[in-house]
Amino acid sequence: MGGPNKNGPMGCPCCAGPRPWDAALRGRGGLRDRLFARLMRGGAAKYNQLLGERKRALFSEIGWGADGLRITGVDPNPAMAPYARESLAAAGLASGNVALLQGVAESLPVADESQDAVICTLVLCSVVSQERALSEARRVLRRGGKLLFMEHVAAPYGSLTRRLQDLWNPAQLWLAECNCNRQTWEALETAGFASLRVERVQATSNPLCALIAPHIAGVAVK
Ligand SMILES: C[S@@+](CC[C@H](N)C(=O)[O-])C[C@H]1O[C@@H](n2cnc3c(N)ncnc32)[C@H](O)[C@@H]1O
């Protein structure tokens, strides 16, 4: 994976045909999306009780002055936007500095080398192509820019949790468009960042959440 994407954010690097991730944008905004967004809102509150501290530590990796801060949020599900606005307002971030766009991580509607940081939490489990999403993150970052990530991932190969993850994954994919058994650290290792720091984090000891308990968190620098 080389430098800036010469095809621009909306072009396919390899062909003129449909791209697999385009499907993630079709027929969005219906009941399923609205329901999922509402469930995620409740789930995120609980999740942040467990891992909020770790998330905050991650964000402290980037120094942001409140003044010049510009945020672009990208999600295929438009029903997420009102919740994102709520969270931004609660964090005291002026809405004039925020653009929430419908799109996918595999084709970011953002210019080459225009961002100081890309934040990706619980998204690489859902994208169609991790390779493409990480290549896009690298494309939009300035040199020295940081990708901050926190993702639930596959348990160690051969463990009971991993066997259960592999069995359950088709249901998870159908229910939540999310994979519980991705070896996301491997995609990060081969994504061409200048440096990468990955830490393993166990989210919870609750057996009901065991399949999404193994996490990685860290920073990749372009
Ligand atoms: C589990 S939620 C995480 C939301 C939020 N990032 C957080 O940490 O609370 C997964 C999010 O990824 C979004 N998503 C799914 N496929 C995506 C894609 N290809 N590109 C970008 N976002 C995607 C979903 O719509 C959903 O909002």
pTM over cut 0.75: yes
Q: Is there an atom of ligand 1 within 6 Å of 130 CB? A: no
In terms of residue numbers, what domain contains 151?
Answer: 20-221
181: phi then psi, degrees, rounded to nearest 5: -125, 35
In terms of Cα–Cα distance, which of 156, 24, 136 is closest to 78?
A: 24
DSSP 8-state class, residue 195: E
> Does any domain span residue 30?
yes
> Does any domain span residue 13?
no
- Alpha carbon nearest to ligand 1 atom 12, residue: 123
**Cα of 72 from ligand 1 centre, angstroms:** 14
> Does any domain span residue 179?
yes
> Does any domain span residue 145?
yes
Q: What angle do CA 74, 115, 189 make, to 5 degrees?
A: 85
Check which CATH number belongs to the domain holding 170 and give it. Answer: 3.40.50.150
> Does any domain span residue 14?
no
**Cα of 33 from ligand 1 centre, angstroms:** 11
Q: Is there an atom of ligand 1 within 6 Å of 75 CB? A: yes
Task: Note down pLDDT in tens along the chain; length 222 residues.
Answer: 333 333 334 445 555 678 999 889 999 999 999 999 999 988 888 888 888 888 888 888 777 665 678 899 999 999 999 999 999 998 888 778 899 999 999 999 999 999 999 999 999 999 999 999 999 999 999 999 999 999 999 999 999 999 999 999 999 999 999 999 999 999 999 999 999 999 999 987 677 789 999 999 999 999
Q: Is there an atom of ligand 1 within 6 Å of 136 CB? A: no
Q: What is the dihedral of CA 74, 79, 83, 86, to 10 degrees?
A: 90
